[in-house]
Amino acid sequence: MEIDVKKLREDFKEPYELVNTSDGKILFLRKWESQSPSNKAILILHGITAYSGPYEMFANAISKTGFTAIGLDLRGHGLSDGTRGDYPSKETLISDLVETISYLKKKFSTLLIFGHSLGVLIALIAKMNSNEKIDGLILLSAGKIINPGVYKSPSVLQKLKILFSAIFRPSKPVINYYREGILGLDDPLFNFKYTLRFMRLVSVQDLDLSEEIECPVLLGVGEHDELFSVESAQSLLDEISCKDKKFFIMPGAKHAVEFTEESFKEIKSWLINKF
């Protein structure tokens, strides 16, 4: 189904901001103001298939702690410009992140990044490539290795179709993204098709984690996360070079966390303690 992103942006009634990228695209930033005026913000980076909207429960919880929550729709997602389910290159992704962070740092002296699932990888890429000061990272629902059996292997015919498209039409999304229990099937702003070049960007295993991260890092995983085991999440944190890092488990939580008061308690405590 075709989506008129420009019209949806024009019709959007809640607070938002727009970032004009150096290559002429518009990135959409959904905004949840803190309950009192604040110079502190948390940038929310969403998971694959998603966009900033479904993180409203988490964003509202953030706003009660004295932070403004800012949700970025990645290029090709939600209400941002770009071919749905595609990123032209890693350099373009990095540029989008760097420009978004620079835009926010002009408005907020303290800026943290929250990444969920794919957003964990994006958050780490942002931190490693931005020259701006990032004051903390909150990383949820990610690990070094995905649990076996979560995704079905494509057939030979599907692999050939993907390869053909990657060579002759690299911007055409042909990889169906699906797993049991996936959310957002009834939401037209979710993506469920991706290009090969996008999928090649989203492997944590390809990320060099040897560079020292000087800000505090909080990494958590749901007790019943369908994609990543507790051990896999802990392994990811172990590889992150950081002197101030903490691991926690969200009791009863799955991959798509529902941010109840109980599930947010550890994050809230960490924010109050550190900031």
Give the pLDDT confidence score for residue 155 in this predicted structure.
87
In a domain, 250, yes or no: yes
Q: How many CB atoms lie under 10 A from the CB of residue 125?
A: 19
Single-letter amino acid, residue 64: K
Q: Domain range holding 269?
A: 5-147+203-274
Q: List phi, psi (to 5°) of 8.
A: -65, -35
Output the pTM of the full model.
0.96
Report how many domains make up the chain.
1
The answer to whether 269 and 239 have CB atoms below 8 angstroms apart is no
Token representation of residue 220: 């958590």
In a domain, 198, yes or no: no
Residue for token pair 């019943």: 224
- How would residue 93 be classed by pLDDT, with cut points 50, 70 and 90? very high
Could you give the CA distance from residue 79 to residue 92 in angstroms, rounded to a whole number?
18
Give the pLDDT confidence score for residue 205 in this predicted structure.
67
Mean local confidence (pLDDT), 47-71: 95
In a domain, 185, yes or no: no
- How would residue 1 be classed by pLDDT, with cut points 50, 70 and 90? low
In a domain, 257, yes or no: yes
Give the pLDDT confidence score for residue 202 in this predicted structure.
76
Token representation of residue 244: 């101030």
Give the pLDDT confidence score for residue 35 in this predicted structure.
81
In a domain, 182, yes or no: no
The answer to whether 226 and 195 have CB atoms below 8 angstroms apart is no
Give the pLDDT confidence score for residue 151 in this predicted structure.
83
Side-chain-side CA neighbours of 236 within 13 Å: the count stands at 29
The answer to whether 194 and 47 have CB atoms below 8 angstroms apart is no
Give the residue, 138 or 34, on which the prediction is more confident: 138
Could you give the CA distance from residue 255 to residue 111 in angstroms, rounded to a whole number?
25
Asked if pLDDT for residue 142 goes beyond 70, the answer is yes
Asked if pLDDT for residue 130 goes beyond 70, the answer is yes
* Separation of CA 218 from chain center: 15
| Helix/strand/coil (H/E/C) assignment for every residue in 19-83 | EECCCCCEEEEEEECCCCCCCEEEEEECCCCCCCHHHHHHHHHHHCCCCEEEEECCCCCCCCCCC
Give the pLDDT confidence score for residue 81 in this predicted structure.
97
Token representation of residue 90: 């890693």
Structure confidence by residue, pLDDT tens digits, 164-218 = 998 999 999 999 988 877 888 899 999 999 999 999 887 766 788 888 999 999 9
In a domain, 213, yes or no: yes
**SS3 label, residue 17:** strand
Q: CATH no. for residue 267?
A: 3.40.50.1820
In a domain, 258, yes or no: yes
In a domain, 180, yes or no: no
